[in-house]
Every structure is written in structure tokens, then in C-alpha cells.
């Protein structure tokens, strides 16, 4: 996909910042591609971009309206359709990472056709994937896993790409979700792949490579989340990781969107090793990434010190404090 920028980010009526994580992620990692944001009444998210109407954005040169909101089920609310049609009528393309295909909405399909504009459904791939084989392939792989969904798996993988490259490693981020695809320009939204082919799709994303090359594979969901564990398991088996980093948000008590209690970091390490050994018997944990956004700096440092002590692994907040401790652990264990 060649999605034209600059973008106008549509944040709709997002109920909180996590609901707008696609848009916020694009801003964090591709700020130069973003012209402004459009929010509907009641929107609780803010990407810190200039607020613009569709007409204002078109006049300033916006090329694509990017739907920066995610929701349970990846549906496209009826209340958004009019704004999307208006964007197409104003000469913008539209890109979304939802499960609902833009072209499946008659009004949107008709507006795109009459204006000669493009619709990009980033969550849907035209690639046909094989089933996973689990055969050992050259190259090194790291997977980010989580105690929950929306705890920083994508940000950790992107931060590790930057940090490892600065430290002299040959490393590439591999996107497995719609936001990661928007940021990197490549990858597959794994949760839109038919279940039988999830592990095969991850093998396709991260094929055989130079023995010293690292693929840093973005994790999805959690092995403990009743809604998304199936995707997480297929991703784990296809990634065949040599190393993994556990991502955690310390203020949560239940998993997002359900009443299930949050597992401990130790639970996640043990389960990931147990299940990951199916395709890589040598799998090991190399660090813990803690999202400390809700904590003061003093509280954050104390939480990281406690976590590192309890689990005997480097612990850091990749956004707040960087990934150097985890990079050094990778160097120590893998050379």
C-alpha cells in the first residue's frame, strides 16, 4: 500500500486515549506525516495536533483521512460515515485499520467511486498465507508479549529497533497490527487473519534471515486475555522467538474490557516459555517493559527497581527511560 501523506487523523468520538491508540501511535513515530486532527463532540482523546475541519485540512494539503480510532470488534460506527463521505468529496483518500471494510459501506464506496479516491483497509491483506510449519529458520527473533492488551508491546518493539540499531545491531521492527503497519509501511494485521493461518502469516512476516539479524516482532493481546489469547498464541508459535520482553501496566487490576484479573509478570514469563518451546525450545525472557505513564517519576523508578529485583531481569519504561538495559541483556545473552 502506498498511502499518501500528510494525514488528517480522525479521532472520532474516542472514549479515552487508548481508544485512539492508532492515531496517537502514528503521531509518536511519524509526526512529520501528520497535518492535523479531527474530533467529534465528546471525544476524550487528543493527539496534540491542530484541530481541523475536513475543508480546512483539504485546503492545507491533507492527502488522506486516517481513521485513528480502534474499538472492540473493529467496527465502523454509523455516526462516522458522513464524515468519511465528506472527506472523499473533498478529494482525500481514506485509510482505516478496522475489521469493517470501508468499501462494504455503500455510501463510502459510492463516494470513493464518484470522486476517484482510494480506500485503504490496512487490517486486510491480499496475501494468501500458508499454515505455520514451525521449522527452525535462520536469524534471531524477539517478540513483545503482554500481561494485557494495550500495555506497550508496539512501542517497546519500536523502541528496541531504535535502541538496538544505535548499539550496532542489525534489527528491524515487524508490524503485526494496523497501527504498526501505518508506522512502518509494511506488515500484516494478524488479528484479521483466519485462525488456521496466523502462525504461517507470522512466518511470512519474519522469514529466514542472516544469522545475526534481529526481527523485533510486535506482540498482540495476551495469552491470558479471554478475548485475544488465540491470536497471541498463534503469533507466539509463528514468531518462534529466541527472546521475549514482557510488557506490563502496573496500575491495572483487571484486563481491559473484561473482568478477568490481571496475571502477574511471572505468570506471563512461565506461560510464554511453556507454550513457546513448541517452536523454539531455547526461548528466554530478556527483560520487562513497564508502562509507567500513570506514575510519578519517583514511583516509576521504585516500581522498576522492585520489578527488576523480583524477577532478576532488567526492567525499564522504554518511552520514559529508554531500552538500554534490555539491549545490554540481549548483547550479554546472544553476543
Q: Taking Cα atoms as reference points, which of 188, 182, 184, 189 lies closest to residue 173?
A: 184
Q: What is the dihedral of CA 136, 140, 142, 143, to 10 degrees?
A: -30
Distance (Å, rounded) from C-alpha 289 to C-alpha 329? 13
pLDDT of 228 higher than 80: yes
Would you state the cell numbers that stand for residue 144, as one nine-digit string? 513483545
Q: Taking Cα atoms as reference points, which of 184, 223, 222 lies closest to residue 205?
A: 184
Q: Taking Cα atoms as reference points, which of 192, 194, 190, 267 lies closest to residue 236?
A: 190
Q: Domain check: are 87 and 214 in the same one?
A: no
Which residues lie below 8 Å from residue 106, measured CB to CB, with a gap of 6+?
A: none
Distance (Å, rounded) from C-alpha 143 to C-alpha 154? 10
Which residues lie below 8 Å from residue 67, measured CB to CB, with a gap of 6+?
A: 10, 12, 22, 76, 80, 84, 94, 95, 96, 97, 98
**Phi-psi domain of 279 (left: phi exceeds 0; alpha: psi -120 through 50; beta: other):** alpha
3 state DSSP class of 19: helix
What is the percent of the chain with per-residue pLDDT over 90, rounded to a whole number? 88
Would you state the cell numbers that stand for residue 90, as one nine-digit string? 473533498
Distance (Å, rounded) from C-alpha 121 to C-alpha 185? 13
Q: Which residue has the cell 509526526?
A: 31
90 pLDDT tier (thresholds 50, 70, 90): very high
Across the range 269-286, mean pLDDT stands at: 98
What is residue 102's predicted lDDT score, i.e. its pLDDT? 96
Distance (Å, rounded) from C-alpha 27 to C-alpha 10? 12
With respect to residue 117, please indicate whether it lies within any of the assigned structural domains. yes
What is residue 138's predicted lDDT score, i.e. its pLDDT? 98
pLDDT of 10 higher than 80: yes
Q: Domain check: are 164 and 256 in the same one?
A: yes
pLDDT of 1 higher than 70: no
Q: Are 250 and 303 in contact (CB under 8 A)?
A: yes
Q: CA 12, 66, 225 angle in degrees (round to 5)?
A: 70
The number of C-alpha atoms within 13 Å of 177 and in the hemisphere containing its C-beta is: 26
Count of Cβ atoms closer than 10 Å to residue 113 Cβ: 12
323 pLDDT tier (thresholds 50, 70, 90): very high
* H or E element at residue 230: helix 229-239
Q: Domain check: are 161 and 104 in the same one?
A: no
Q: Domain check: are 61 and 111 in the same one?
A: yes
pTM reported for the whole predicted model: 0.85
User: Which CATH number belongs to the domain containing residue 199 in this structure?
Assistant: 3.40.50.300
Q: Are 130 and 274 in contact (CB under 8 A)?
A: no
Q: Domain check: are 199 and 52 in the same one?
A: no
- Domain boundary pick from 121, 153, 188: 121
- 67 φ, ψ to 5°? -75, 110
* H or E element at residue 97: none
Q: Domain check: are 162 and 208 in the same one?
A: yes
Q: Taking Cα atoms as reference points, which of 1, 320, 16, 331 lies closest to residue 155?
A: 320
- Domain boundary pick from 121, 150, 171: 121
* H or E element at residue 13: none
With respect to residue 39, please indicate whether it lies within any of the assigned structural domains. yes
Q: Are 265 and 220 in contact (CB under 8 A)?
A: no
**Structural domain count, the chain:** 2
Q: What confidence tens digit (pLDDT) does each residue in 208-226 have?
A: 999 999 999 999 999 999 9
Structural domain harbouring 35 = 7-121
What is the percent of the chain with per-residue pLDDT over 70, rounded to a whole number? 100
Q: Domain check: are 13 and 105 in the same one?
A: yes
Q: Domain check: are 95 and 226 in the same one?
A: no
Q: Domain check: are 265 and 322 in the same one?
A: yes
Across the range 329-333, mean pLDDT stands at: 98
Which residues lie below 8 Å from residue 219, measured CB to CB, with a gap of 6+?
A: 143, 144, 145, 146, 153, 157, 176, 232, 235, 247
With respect to residue 131, please indicate whether it lies within any of the assigned structural domains. no
pLDDT of 236 higher than 70: yes
- Domain boundary pick from 121, 149, 181: 121
Amino acid at each position: 500500500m502506498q498511502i499518501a501523506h500528510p494525514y488528517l487523523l480522525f479521532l472520532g468520538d474516542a472514549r479515552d486515549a487508548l481508544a485512539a491508540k492508532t492515531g496517537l501511535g502514528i503521531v509518536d513515530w511519524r509526526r512529520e506525516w501528520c497535518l492535523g486532527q479531527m474530533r467529534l463532540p465528546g471525544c476524550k482523546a487528543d493527539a496534540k495536533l491542530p484541530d481541523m475541519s475536513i475543508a480546512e485540512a483539504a485546503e492545507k494539503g491533507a492527502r488522506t483521512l486516517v481513521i485513528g480510532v480502534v474499538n472492540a470488534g473493529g467496527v465502523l460506527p454509523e455516526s462516522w460515515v458522513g464524515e468519511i463521505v465528506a472527506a472523499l468529496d473533498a478529494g482525500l483518500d481514506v485509510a482505516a485499520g478496522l475489521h469493517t471494510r470501508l468499501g462494504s459501506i455503500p455510501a463510502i464506496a459510492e463516494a470513493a467511486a464518484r470522486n476517484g479516491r482510494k480506500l485503504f483497509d490496512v487490517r486486510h491483506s491480499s496475501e494468501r498465507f500458508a499454515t505455520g510449519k514451525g521449522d527452525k529458520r535462520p536469524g534471531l527473533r524477539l517478540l513483545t508479549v503482554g500481561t494485557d492488551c494495550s500495555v506497550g508491546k508496539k512501542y517497546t518493539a519500536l523502541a528496541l529497533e531504535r535502541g538496538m540499531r544505535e548499539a550496532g545491531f542489525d534489527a528491524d521492527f515487524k508490524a503485526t497490527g494496523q497501527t504498526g503497519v501505518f508506522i512502518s509501511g509494511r506488515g500484516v494485521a494478524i488479528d484479521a487473519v483466519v485462525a488456521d493461518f496466523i502462525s504461517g502469516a507470522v512466518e511470512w512476516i519474519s522469514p529466514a534471515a542472516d544469522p545475526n539479524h534481529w526481527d523485533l516482532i510486535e506482540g498482540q493481546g495476551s495469552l491470558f486475555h479471554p478475548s485475544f489469547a488465540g491470536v497471541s498464541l498463534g503469533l507466539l508459535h509463528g514468531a518462534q522467538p529466541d527472546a521475549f520482553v514482557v510488557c506490563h501496566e502496573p496500575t491495572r487490576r483487571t484486563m481491559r474490557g473484561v473482568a478477568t484479573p490481571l496475571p502477574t509478570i511471572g505468570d506471563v514469563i512461565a506461560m510464554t516459555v511453556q507454550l513457546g518451546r513448541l517452536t523454539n525450545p531455547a526461548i528466554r525472557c530478556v527483560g520487562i517493559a513497564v508502562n509507567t505513564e500513570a506514575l510519578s517519576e519517583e514511583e516509576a523508578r521504585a516500581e522498576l527497581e522492585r520489578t527488576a529485583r523480583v524477577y532478576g531481569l532488567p526492567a525499564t519504561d522504554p518511552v520514559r527511560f529508554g531500552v538500554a538495559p534490555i539491549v545490554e541483556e540481549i548483547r550479554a545473552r546472544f553476543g
